[in-house]
Amino acid sequence: MREYLYILTMQSHDGRQATWSGVITPGPTATRERIFLDLRATIAQAQPTQEQREAVAAAPTLFFSLEPNAL
């Protein structure tokens, strides 16, 4: 399976920005949209409080990149 590097930047309602990045290996039926939605959900669920989880889930995306990791 092919590895992909993702970079996802979101902005909170008060203007703060946060960026997450990593490497994933999607399954054979994965789509770019599904990966994007799953990453957002995973990041939101990783927040320590319910208020923070809800804020991240509602945060607008400023940047999303999903590219093959191999050069």
Give the whole-angstrom CA distance, residue 67 versus residue 44. 22
Q: What is the pLDDT of residues 43-66, one digit of tens each?
A: 999 999 999 999 999 999 999 999
Structural domain count, the chain? 1
The residues that bridge with 66 in the sheet, in sequence order, are 6
Question: Over pLDDT 70: what percentage of the chain?
Answer: 100
pLDDT of residue 1: 82
Its pTM stands at 0.89
Can you give the length of the chain in residues? 71
Write out the residue range of the structural domain in which residue 26 sits.
Answer: 4-68
